[in-house]
Each structure stands twice: as structure tokens, then as C-alpha cells.
Structure 1
Amino acid sequence: MTISTVQSPVLIHTIRDLRAWRATATREGQAVGFVPTMGALHDGHLHLLRTARKQCDRVVLSIFVNPAQFAPHEDLATYPRTLDADLALLARSAPTHGPGADPMAAFRPLADVVFAPNPAEMYPAGISTDVREQRGTFVEVLGVSHQMEGVTRPHFFRGVATIVLKLFNAVQPDRAYFGQKDVQQCVVLRNMVRDLLLPLTVVTVPTVRSATGLALSSRNRYLTPDQMEPALTLRRALVAASERYEAGERRRTHLLKAAHAVFATEPRAQLEYISLAHPVTLAELDVVGQDGAILSGAFRVGTTRLIDNILLGCAL
């Protein structure tokens, strides 16, 4: 098995080598946690890894910029690819441990394995961002993929579900960890795992934010210093609506009115949508019921597109 290392994490590029590593973990009876990413790692990713490290014996992190979830006009070519910097960050990021933890755990990396395949490894039939040109096998999770983010990005979750299923098949994790920031993705993948009878648990981890409240995202690095203030507009809008909810308001019109009022004060923020959806079906709600709701949205600051959400009376 050909494996190179960058300090602590083991770097693997092929499914063959990854499966050999996984077979050893299986023989040793080790539970494997998995954090799929597109790289450009930040503290949000590290929080996912720390959560996985606390709950699993071994942790795999994947770094793969997935062409199938980009449309031809989107930022695939310019999406940050920072493998060396990502590996260096992992090498200097120690796990956190509670009382009674194994003292030797402090010497283990956040990720035991970094799986960084090339596109041909993940898409043997080839891959294009143009759906009309694509060949091979793809996965769609119907009912929860074509609203919210799926309105402006109609093939996005087809690409997400396809690559995540491929990664699940390669890694064979016991648990997979996703951030709440991508809340619709969490719902889509939970449905996929349920419907395809996959033997793993999807764990949703709360969003990590900067000191200002901005949800951490790899795309935040696109923001210029003077765009940091308008980049908080969606967060402020969601908080304004959440405050109305906490005060007893349940009607869609009144909750969204509070959110839209915030955007009206910030012309540099271009709102795409705000959604008030059922946490399981993602159906848009006129009134928030006992199941609660996902309040989410997307907007642009300059050319940078950002998303965020707040859970109202529910958990994922």
C-alpha cells in the first residue's frame, strides 16, 4: 500500500489504499468517524473533527472539490484548493479532551487519515458541470432537494448526494459529521441514509461562528474587509425573526417581515431568499407548529454567496 504522510495525518489518494486502511480498522474493531469537506479548512471543520474524535476510535477527513455540485457558471475553477495548508493546519491542531480522557490521545492528530482523491478516482466515467454532458450513476433525494437552495441551484443536491454516497462507500464510516450551517444538506443526507439503508449515523454539529456572529465558511475568504459588515446581514435578519418567534409569534408573514426589514437597511446585501420550512419535510410553513421550523436564507455580498440558518423550536 502506497501512503505518504505529512507529519501526523496519513495522506491517501486512492480508494484502494483507503480500503486497505479501513480493513485494518475493521479487524481491530475500531469505530470510524468521517468528516467530508472540500478543503480550505477553517475552525468549523476542526470543530467537526474534534466532535468525531471524541466519539470515534479513528477519524477520516476527505478533501475533494466536487465538480458535480457546481453549475457551469459557478466558482469551480476559483474555489480554493489549499491541500498543503490544510494538512499543515491539521498537523498543528491538537484534539481537546475532557476529564478522564486517555493522556496519550493528546499525541494523536485530529484526523488519522486525509483522503484526497482526484476527480478520475471518484468519477470513473468522467465528470462535467453540465448535467446534459454527464455520464454514469447519480443519486437524487426527491422531495427535499428542489426547494430552498435547490431553487437557484437545481442540480446542487444531486451532486452532493452522489459524491457523499461514493465517499460513504469508500470510507465505510460508523458516523458521519456535518455542520448545521448547511442545514438542507443535513436533511437531504439523513433522508439518503435512511432510504438507501446505509449502516451509519449522520451527526449534525452546531454552526461555528466568528466573534461577530458570521457563520464560518470557506467562501468567507472571498470577502474584502469592507464587505465583512454587510456579510452579517442574514445573521441579523434571522436573529430578528427568531426574537419574534421567542416572543410568541408563529405566523410566517410576521416572522419573515422582521427578517426582510433588516435587509431593507443594508443595500450592499442582495437577498436571494428566506425560507421558513418544516424541519423534516422542508415544506414551507404558513404557521410554525409543534414540530418547529428551519429559518434559513441565502444572499450575496458583491460576488460572494453566503447562507445561514436558525432552528426555531426544533433540533436536527
Structure 2
Amino acid sequence: MRLIKEISQMKTWRENARKNGIRIALVPTMGYFHEGHLALMKKAKTLADKVVVSIFVNPIQFGPREDFSSYPRDLERDAAMAQEIGVDVIFTPEARDMYPEGYQTYVEVTELSKPLCGARRPGHFKGVATVCLKLFNIVRPHVAIFGLKDYQQFLVIKRLVKDLNLDVEIVGHPIVREKDGLAMSSRNVYLSEEERKSAVCLYKALCLAKEKVKAGQRNPEALQKELEEFVLSHPYTKIDYIEFRDPETLEEVKEISKPTLLALAVFVGKARLIDNMIIEP
């Protein structure tokens, strides 16, 4: 496995690979791997000849009061885990190289970025779209794999690729969960033992909604209130949002009459956790 830091070296590697007809998969990450990341890498290996994993804690997708400086980092640990999976290249560029002095170009997917996390984290998806476009240009993968825990991000990147006619296939991978249902996340490391017990309420809320809809509930407003009460019955929780949205456009849903995205963001202690599920009526 190669560890590449320089953008020029990454470009040289990808050019040689493409000249030899090698199919490249990219797994973009911010590092501090868990089983969810490893599942993306395993999926990538089934879709391409060579797998590149980028590790870059992207400063432009964090707000001024968010956890950029405290976000967990451990390159040595990540490299060992990726090597065990059989990753071919880890690309770890420096922020000063990705955004050198005088940098002033950004890309924004306007409508899909507005609701949910976009409404609560202004500029977040502009940062995500910009870094992904840069990574696609540097690595030039044939396919890129994204986890569906970040469902809105997945839609934003798919739209970016479609609108800008990028020659890369975007593949979503189902959410990977702990045994009790908690979605795997690098931010789970922020949870104390007691907070960790409460954190499973996100998944339980999704399952509760699924049961209620199966039993005939079609009113998203009424169900939202019920889910809010359920989540807040767990200690250390503060709701950022619980919303029902169209799974393709992210527009608000007035009635649960077709497959509907239930997305939620909840603070458990200082950790902001997100989760989602497509609810079938």
C-alpha cells in the first residue's frame, strides 16, 4: 500500500493506472476509521481494480463553532486498518495544498443543500461539494463510494456529478450499525458511557416511525411530535431536527403516501449524531 501526500504524485499514480486500463475506485473520508469506512473499502474492491482512500479533514466544511480542531485523527491506525482490507493507496493531502494562499473557487449544489443539515450548518455542503470535486479531479476515479448515513451528502454529490457532467459513478453503501442499532460514526468517540446508552434512541426512533407508518399513520407532523417526545425522554439529548422529506428532492412531505426519507440530527452530550431511514407506507 502506498501513502501519497503530494497532489502531483497522486496525479502521476492515477495517470499511470489509467494508461494501463486500470479501473480506480475512490473512498473519500475524513479518517478515524470504523467498520462503516471499512465496509466502503470492501465494496470499492468489488467495483474496481485499485482502491484509493482519501483521508482529509476538510476545513471548509466546518463552521466556526464546530469540531474541526477536535475531530479525531490517527493516521497510523487508519493506515493499518486500510492495509488489512487491501487498499492500494491512501491519499492524505495537506490543507495548505488543497487550499493554497489566494484560493477563491467554490462549487455549490443550491437546492439540495438548503434543508436538513444544510439549514443548520451554513456553508457545509459548499465545502463538501468543493472538496469532492477537487478529489475527483485529482484522483480521477471511475467510481466513488459514499455511506448513506450522510444521505443528504450522497444526494448533493450525485447532483454535482450529474450537473457538471463528471465522468465518475457514485455508489451509495447502506448504513453500518453497531449491534444495538447505533449508526457507526467517528463522532461516537465523543460519547461518554451514559451518553452512549442514550444515543441508540436515534435508531429506535426510526424503528418506531417505521412501525407507526406500517400501522397506518400517514401524518408526518403528528409522527414528528411523537418522535420528538420519544427522543427527549432519553437523557443528554437535544434535537437539532426530525424531518420527513422526499428521498430524491428533499422537499417537505405533507403525507406519507410513498417511500419517504425520515432524517434526524440529535445532540447527545456534545456529539451531534445523524441517522436516517426510508420509511415505506
Matching residue of 2:170: 202
Q: How does 1:153-302 map to 2 (within 5 A)?
A: 153-290=121-258, 292-302=259-269
- 5+ residue gaps in structure 2? none
Q: Take 2:232 and 2:196, find their aligned partners in 1: how far apart are those partners?
A: 17
* SS of corresponding position for 1:177: strand
Residues 1:309 and 2:276 aligned together: yes
What is the aligned residue count?
281
Displacement of 1:267 after TM fit? Answer: 3.6
Q: Take 2:264 and 2:38, find their aligned partners in 1: how far apart are those partners?
A: 24
Matching residue of 1:11: 3
Instruction: Using the aligned pairs only, state the percent identity.
Output: 42
Q: How does 1:53-64 map to 2 (within 5 A)?
A: 53-64=45-56
Cα root mean square deviation, aligned: 1.4
Q: Take 2:143 and 2:209, find their aligned partners in 1: how far apart are those partners?
A: 33
Displacement of 1:264 after TM fit? Answer: 3.7
Given that 1:240 and 1:258 are in contact with CA atoms closer than 8 Å, whether structure 2 keeps it comes out as no
Q: Take 2:256 and 2:44, find their aligned partners in 1: how far apart are those partners?
A: 33
* SS of corresponding position for 2:200: helix
Displacement of 1:25 after TM fit? Answer: 1.1
Q: Which amino acid aligns with 2:67?
A: D
Given that 1:237 and 1:258 are in contact with CA atoms closer than 8 Å, whether structure 2 keeps it comes out as no
TM-score normalised by the chain length of structure 2:
0.96
Q: Which amino acid aligns with 1:32?
A: I
- 5+ residue gaps in structure 1? 1-8, 95-108, 127-134
Given that 1:222 and 1:304 are in contact with CA atoms closer than 8 Å, whether structure 2 keeps it comes out as yes
1:158-202 deviation digits (Å, cap 9, x = unpaired): 110000100010011111100010000001111101101001111
Given that 2:182 and 2:202 are in contact with CA atoms closer than 8 Å, whether structure 1 keeps it comes out as no
Matching residue of 1:116: 92
Distance 1:231 1:29, change over 3 A: same
TM-score normalised by the chain length of structure 1:
0.86
Q: Take 2:192 and 2:260, find their aligned partners in 1: how far apart are those partners?
A: 33
1:198-222 deviation digits (Å, cap 9, x = unpaired): 0111100000011111100001111
Q: Which amino acid aligns with 2:266?
A: F
Given that 1:210 and 1:216 are in contact with CA atoms closer than 8 Å, whether structure 2 keeps it comes out as yes
Matching residue of 1:130: none
